[in-house]
Each structure stands twice: as structure tokens, then as C-alpha cells.
Amino acid sequence: MNKDIFKGNWKQFKGKARKNWGKLTDDDLDVVEGDQEILAGKIQERYGVTKEEAKKQIDEYDWDED
């Protein structure tokens, strides 16, 4: 997903991120503010995966699903 679109829609995506990555706290998601790199770092930190795996999860997640 385009980084500008991701950042612009972060308020809507925030709930989806919380649902998909339940270990992320509200504070984690507030810090992310739509930045995919920061989100990947938080996923890496909370789930113990590599940064590459975290980025892959973000890229493969269907952000348009309801």
C-alpha cells in the first residue's frame, strides 16, 4: 500500500491494526501515527519477529476489509 494513503487513512486503519495485532497497545498505535516503519518496529518488538517479517505482514494484510 502507498505510504501516503496509509498515513492519510491511519485513523481508520488503527482499529484494524489493533484487531490484527492484539499485542499492540493503544500507546504503541498512537506512536505509529501512520508510519509503516514504526508499525513494523512495534510488531517486531511485541511479537518477536524480524523487521522483514513484520513488513511482510503489513504489506499482506487486507487493509480494505471490513
CA distance 34 to 31: 9
For the chain of 66 residues, list the mean pLDDT of each consecutive stretch of 10: 87 93 96 96 98 96 82
Q: Residue 1: its pLDDT value, please?
A: 73
Predicted model pTM = 0.89
Which set of grid coordinates corresponds to residue 44?
A: 517486531
Q: Residue 66: its pLDDT value, please?
A: 59
Q: Residue 38: its pLDDT value, please?
A: 97
CA distance 32 to 38: 5
CATH number (domain holding residue 32): 1.10.1470.10
Domain count, the chain: 1
* 31 is a domain residue: yes
Domain limits for position 21: 3-60
Q: Residue 22: its pLDDT value, please?
A: 97
* 39 is a domain residue: yes
* 26 is a domain residue: yes
